[in-house]
Structure 1
Amino acid sequence: MLKRIALLIVTAMAMFGFLAVGPAAAAERAVLGGGSGILLGGEAMCTLTTIGHDNAGRLVGITAGHCGEPGMAVEAPDRQDLGVLGHMVAKSRELDYSVIEFDASRVTPVNRVGNVTITGIGAPASFPAIVCKEGLTTGNTCGVVWGDLLQSNETWTQMCVIEGDSGSPVVLGTTLVGMVNAYVGFACLGPELGTNIDVIMGDINARGGAGAGFRPI
């Protein structure tokens, strides 16, 4: 009887040990898309404009240039436990955009965040169209397009934006037409000023490297 009991104990321990060293659960990923909040360099809170793949297959995203400097780590502000998700790799001060290269093993890219869905990239919107954005701070807001008031690279709208919304995707329906860069005068009262996405993509393609040939998810 004692031998049988011992055999049962050894068998149970062996089974437990087998289960304990089984395949580990897959690491949790951050879900990111145009409109997701991002944290750069552990300090700057901004919004991702869009995410997708470039012509080299890299998972890349776009945000406002003034949010950080190349080399800065990118995290999800509400899920810092997931660690570093990527790094800023390029920046244009003139057009105020930056390119982020994400670790594809840590990020699940999506084309819808909140009330904004991105299915493609298009030309700037014109008066009196209504465009919308999804931002880290003010969420989903919409407003009339005033148009190109200063130069062909920028479009002014009447959307509500404040700090943290920098980089937010500006969409006409489901077409990405711009990014949020600033507001004039007072937050949510003065007009929003943003760079046209076709200009940004043209500059990225001309420079080559990360982001060239970008295609949104």
Structure 2
Amino acid sequence: MLKRLAVLFAMVAAMFALVGVGPASAAGPAVLGGGSGIIVGGEALCTLTTIGHDGAGRLVGITAGHCGEPGMAIASSHNEEAGIVGHMVSKSTQWDYAVIEFNPATVAPVNRVGGVTITGIGAPANFPDIVCKEGLRTGNTCGITWGDLVQTNETWTQMCVIEGDSGSPVVRGTTLVGMVNAYVGFACIGPELGTNIDVIMADINARGGVGAGYRPI
């Protein structure tokens, strides 16, 4: 009996040797859209504001500028197996936004993430508009707009945000109107503060290069 078992094991081993056991299949592309979590520089957790193509056809996205520095690698927080999917290429300290260039071979862009769909870009929200965001940390939350601060091109809202939600898209319906940059006082209690998207787009176009002529997916 022992001899028969030994022969059987030897046959099974030979079959595996012939067939081969290859490495696990490579991870699929990272699905990314406005509201997706991203890892910047291997450590900072932030949220992608929007993804689309610029005037030159490059796949690009936007997030909060304080999330990192130009040259830093970008990964998906929900699909780290996809590896590095892009790099931050430029940022504005004044308006606290950054432009990301993605590798189209490793990214599947979408216009809906969680409870937020982005179909276009529009003017800032104003009181008493209800706006919503999708963020890495707090997901989909909504709140009233307190006002557009014309002198700073920022808008205050009453949405719940915490660290990691930086860069989250702020939408009125399905129109992207801003991004999440900070909160005042206490997380999810104090008002959210973010740069208006029309100002960001105007600045990107004025600078030229990667991101100029941007349009969302």
- Normalized against structure 1, the TM-score is what? 0.87
2:48/2:167 contact within 8 Å kept: yes
- Report what 1:37 is aligned to: 37
1:139 is the counterpart of 2:109: no
**Count of matched residue positions in the alignment of Structure 1 and Structure 2:** 199
For residues 91-170 of structure 1, the aligned pairs below 5 Å read 91-149=91-149, 151-170=151-170
Aligned equivalents of 1:149, 1:62: Cα separation in 2: 22
Given residue 168 of structure 2, which amino acid in structure 1 is its aligned partner? S
Q: Which residue of 1 aligns with 2:194?
A: 194
1:54-79 per-position Cα deviation (integer Å, ceiling 9, x unaligned) = 00000000000000000000001222
| CA-CA distance at 1:27 after TM superposition | 6.0
Partner of 1:7: none
The answer (yes or no) to whether the contact 2:125–2:148 under 8 Å persists in 1 is no
| Distance of 1:180 and 1:27 partners within structure 2 | 30
**Range moving further from structure 2, 154-163 or 141-150:** 141-150
CA separation in 2, counterparts of 1:122 and 1:33? 18
Aligned to 2:213: 213
Tell me the C-alpha RMSD between the 2 structures. Answer: 1.9
- SS state at 2:198 partner: helix
State the Cα distance separating 1:81 from its structure 2 match. Answer: 1.3
Aligned to 2:183: 183
Q: What's the secondary structure of 2:28's corresponding residue?
A: coil
- How many angstroms apart in 1 are the aligned matches of 2:154 and 2:119? 22
Pair 1:90 & 2:90 matched: yes
Deviations for 1:182-202, whole angstroms, at most 9, x for unmatched residues? 000000000000000000000
Q: What's the CA shift for 1:148? A: 2.1
What is the distance in 2 between the residues matched to 1:177 and 1:208?
Answer: 21
Structure 1 stretches of 5 or more lacking a match?
1-15
> Percent identity among equivalent residues?
78
- The answer (yes or no) to whether the contact 2:61–2:102 under 8 Å persists in 1 is yes
Structure 1 counterpart of 2:210, which letter?
A
SS in 2 for 1:148: strand
CA distance in 1, matches of 2:59, 2:150: 33
* Residue 26 of structure 1, CA deviation: 8.2
| Structure 1 runs, 4 residues or longer, greater than 4 Å off | none
Task: Flag the 1:160–1:27 CA change in 2: closer, same or farther, 3 A.
Answer: closer
Cα displacement (A) at 1:80: 1.4
